[in-house]
Amino acid sequence: MTEAAHPCGVIFLDKPKGWTSRKAVNHVIRCFSKPEQKNRKQRPKAGHAGTLDPLATGMLPILLGEATRFASMGLNAEKCYEVSFDLSFQTDTLDLEGEVLERFSQLDISQEQIESVLAKFVGVQQQIPPTYSAIRVDGKRAHALARSGEHIEMVAREVEVKDIQLLNFECPVLTIRVSCTKGTYIRSLARDIGKFLGVGGCVTMLRRTSSGGWPEQMMVSLAELEENKDACIVPLQTWLRDLSRIELNRDDASRFVQGQRLGLKSGSQKWDEKNMELCQIIYGDVLLGTASIEAADTSSILQPQRVLPSAQELFR
């Protein structure tokens, strides 16, 4: 079975607590696999768009079939989380899965102090990722090196926290809502907030409520997936909603799927100039792929970026 013949689209799975992101992807693959598809190559292709810790629940976009070619749109997207962390202790993993390193019995902290500190963590900042993370260090996963007893120096990297809202504080547990850019570790944020307060910051609950602006209502549970899996698939064109659309006639569509550059006369097409770096290419109601636009004085050049195999099949 070709890639184009498999289900295509995105499932916004509400990942269960305790599951790795890989386990969630494998479960979706099994849901859409047929009994006769005995080996891995015959089964649907799937991948996720942004890892969630096993402790975490919430939105995990899982892309199926040809949609996997556009996973970067989820990986690079802003994320929103709700997180609770305990200020009375800290662990080596920065969550409940680790060994306790230190306890803090003196917690004379007011809500006013917390609100003042939270404001300091909004904006661009240098963040040190957790030692127990999937980041590669010398070609190996940091968490694997840490579990083998190796000392690891994690390198700080730039992240941006767009917004923090205080949801609840019942000492010693603090609950906040966070909007942030890709690569931001919420466990590290909890650790750093706790350090600033002079206490711990061990994550006890973490839930991703949104990825790329997709609302929480888009999520489907495992039960919903297993009951009516096809209804849970969001079409690929919907996943590409932020990209401008350019519609081609049949001749230009045939050239596009062959990877040829196309000249677009000025004024012959309408698109959002803010999104000219990448756009989705349509023939009729069929998505052919994506392209970038190189603007010129009297015309623009359409440069194919990703062409879908299903689109190529249409013009054979």
Please check whether residues 230 and 196 belong to one and the same domain. no
The residues with which 158 forms a beta bridge, in sequence order, are 126
The residue that leads in pLDDT, 19 or 154, is 19
Please check whether residues 230 and 263 belong to one and the same domain. no
Please check whether residues 120 and 39 belong to one and the same domain. no
What's the pLDDT at 271? 47
What's the pLDDT at 39? 74
Q: What is the CATH number of the domain that holds 274?
A: 2.30.130.10
SS3 state of residue 11: strand
In the chain, the percentage of residues whose pLDDT exceeds 90 is 72
Please check whether residues 51 and 161 belong to one and the same domain. no
138 has catalytic annotation: no
List Cβ<8 Å contacts ≥24 apart for 211-215.
Answer: 211/12, 211/49, 211/50, 211/59, 211/61, 211/74, 211/77, 211/78, 211/79, 211/80, 212/61, 212/73, 212/74, 212/77, 212/78, 212/79, 213/77, 213/78, 214/12, 214/59, 214/61
Please check whether residues 30 and 48 belong to one and the same domain. yes
In whole angstroms, what is the distance from residue 49 CA to residue 62 CA? Answer: 6
In the chain, the percentage of residues whose pLDDT exceeds 70 is 93
Average pLDDT over residues 40-48: 86
Least confident of 34-48, 107-121, 234-248: 34-48
Please check whether residues 207 and 87 belong to one and the same domain. yes
Q: Which of 234, 269, 294 is the last residue of a domain?
A: 234
Quick one: how far is CA 291 from the chain centroid?
A: 22
Domain range holding 257? 243-314
Q: How far, CA to CA in Å, does 166 sit from each of 95, 108, 115, 117, 226?
A: 20, 18, 7, 11, 36
Q: What is the CATH number of the domain that holds 96?
A: 3.30.2350.10
Percentages (nearest 5) of helix, strand, coil residues in the chain: 30, 35, 35
What's the pLDDT at 301? 87
Please check whether residues 129 and 200 belong to one and the same domain. yes
Average pLDDT over residues 169-179: 97
Q: Which of the residues 14, 53, 95, 192 is marked catalytic?
A: 53
The residue that leads in pLDDT, 91 or 137, is 91
* Number of separate domains in the chain: 3
Please check whether residues 195 and 93 belong to one and the same domain. yes
Q: pLDDT tens digit string along 207-254?
A: 999 999 999 999 999 999 999 999 999 999 999 999 989 999 999 999
Q: How far, CA to CA in Å, does 175 sit from each of 15, 180, 249, 289?
A: 20, 16, 53, 42
Average pLDDT over residues 119-147: 87
Please check whether residues 87 and 205 belong to one and the same domain. yes
Please check whether residues 92 and 204 belong to one and the same domain. yes
Please check whether residues 61 and 167 belong to one and the same domain. no
Please check whether residues 220 and 185 belong to one and the same domain. no
